[in-house]
Structure 1
């Protein structure tokens, strides 16, 4: 993490990777800045909105942190300030960078931004966009059974590698699993509130149960088959067998 630097600009505190971005400013977290350059490429569904932007480092995903659930209806994007190192953006940036350094398939973090406002703060994160990657959810709805079976096998194999590394992905669902169907490459994204600890079977089972519930919401009739294909890949992983 020696390439990471921190700066303050226009009330924002920014952490960024100098190997990817030699220079950065508060403009990077201003929608008007990207619109004026015609650099907004589109958006992705999720909590709040993630924007695809064309940056000097390449195509990137800019995500503003939004609350979910009942709290999110009243307090959309404010979090209690407990110090910079405990902010959602700082923790996710550093965790993603650590996972990347471990050789796991995750996006490259470019920059994190925190804006303190008295006792609260808001935050943003920018990561490199993954090539030809689409949410697993899209394929669960559309793909033929044989192709989907192979894809879910690879998803299971990949998730097990993260669990073997000690990751607790607290929001494992088909939106946060990206795939490239042409290569069967799989990535995990969105590590907000996730932790890296020692491998733990109970935590791994909890993650998988959450994924199963997400499968059920999409199609209860297909959940058993989807989960079987996923678990076949999970059990095939070398790290699982060792």
Structure 2
């Protein structure tokens, strides 16, 4: 993937040259008539805006702090070099994973705004995965087959084979399309791990399982059972898994 960087005033911008012939700053200032949907993200750290730009469906994410510190400092971060800002790292990691053939959203642009010599704010734009729902949304409505759970495990294994440590692997950051494709999203604070370090892999899986169990406790009729997790582990461990048929996925997503 080809991308380039430029500076305008106190703003630094990365954009995907395979998608945008010339960058337009307005992509970060979405007009109301172009917005199709607005929602709070899974961690409650601000909002995610779905909008249209040049006949493409895109997603704008503004970086907001969560947790205790987020009560006092909303969206400002300490600047310690452009390569270390969160939107730069997420954009470049997405680009790297796309080049590896991993199922992630296509990065479109990232912006870092210097608010002072020591602080910054920023946002990132990615291409929307059309016709997809999160794993959590689907399981609130219906159960998935064990073959589908195996396929999810196999997808996670692919990322781990490329040493991708997802910092927040949860039921809202796995998406399934009606055609049977499985994507991972939201790679803020994620990174490539050294080859010899493997303990983080089980950490990813444990985090996902805790997320599913939390949904199960809070949402009546949430379709998650121990056999589903065992199926995911089979897929992760390399069991021969047949891809989910499009008809199976479409049926689950339509309910």
Shorter-chain TM-score above 0.5: yes
Are 2:179 and 1:179 aligned? no
Unaligned 5+ segments in structure 1 are none
Give the TM-score normalised by structure 1. 0.88
Q: Which runs of 4+ in 1 moved over 4 A?
A: none
Are 2:220 and 1:218 aligned? no
Q: Secondary structure at the match of 2:21?
A: coil
| Whole-angstrom distance in 2 between the partners of 1:80 and 1:22 | 32
Correspondences of 1:26-65 after superposition (within 5 Å): 26-31=25-30, 34-35=31-32, 38-46=33-41, 47-56=45-54, 58-65=56-63
Q: 1:45 to 1:236 in 2, by over 3 A?
A: farther
Give yes or no for contact 1:165–1:198 (8 Å, CA) kept in 2. Answer: no
Give the equivalent residue in structure 2 for 1:204.
201
Across the two proteins, how many residue pairs are aligned to each other? 230
Once the 2 structures are TM-superposed, how far is the Cα of residue 237 of structure 1 from its aligned partner? 5.5
Q: Secondary structure at the match of 1:100?
A: helix
Q: Which is further off, 127-136 or 40-49?
A: 40-49
| Whole-angstrom distance in 1 between the partners of 2:35 and 2:176 | 23
| Whole-angstrom distance in 1 between the partners of 2:9 and 2:208 | 40
| Whole-angstrom distance in 2 between the partners of 1:226 and 1:121 | 43
Give the equivalent residue in structure 1 for 2:229.
227
Give the equivalent residue in structure 2 for 1:88.
86
Once the 2 structures are TM-superposed, how far is the Cα of residue 10 of structure 1 from its aligned partner? 5.1
Q: 1:45 to 1:154 in 2, by over 3 A?
A: farther
| Whole-angstrom distance in 2 between the partners of 1:137 and 1:5 | 35
Query: Structure 1, residues 88-126: CA drift from partner, whole Å, max 9, x if none?
Result: 000000000000000100111000001011121111000
Query: Structure 1, residues 23-63: CA drift from partner, whole Å, max 9, x if none?
Result: 223322124xx22xx21111244132111111126111110
| Whole-angstrom distance in 1 between the partners of 2:200 and 2:225 | 21
Once the 2 structures are TM-superposed, how far is the Cα of residue 164 of structure 1 from its aligned partner? 0.7
Q: Secondary structure at the match of 1:219?
A: helix
Q: Secondary structure at the match of 1:142?
A: coil
Give yes or no for contact 1:92–1:191 (8 Å, CA) kept in 2. Answer: yes
Query: Structure 1, residues 126-174: CA drift from partner, whole Å, max 9, x if none?
Result: 0111121111111121113xx3433322111100100011011110001
| Whole-angstrom distance in 2 between the partners of 1:105 and 1:198 | 21
Are 2:163 and 1:166 aligned? yes
Match of 2:104 among 103, 106, 110: 106
Q: 1:10 to 1:26 in 2, by over 3 A?
A: farther
| Whole-angstrom distance in 2 between the partners of 1:45 and 1:150 | 31
| Whole-angstrom distance in 2 between the partners of 1:117 and 1:66 | 15
Give RMSD over aligned pairs.
Answer: 1.8
Give the TM-score normalised by structure 2. 0.84
Q: 1:211 to 1:223 in 2, by over 3 A?
A: farther
Q: Which is further off, 131-140 or 44-53?
A: 44-53
- Structure with the larger helix share: 1
Give the equivalent residue in structure 1 for 2:151.
154
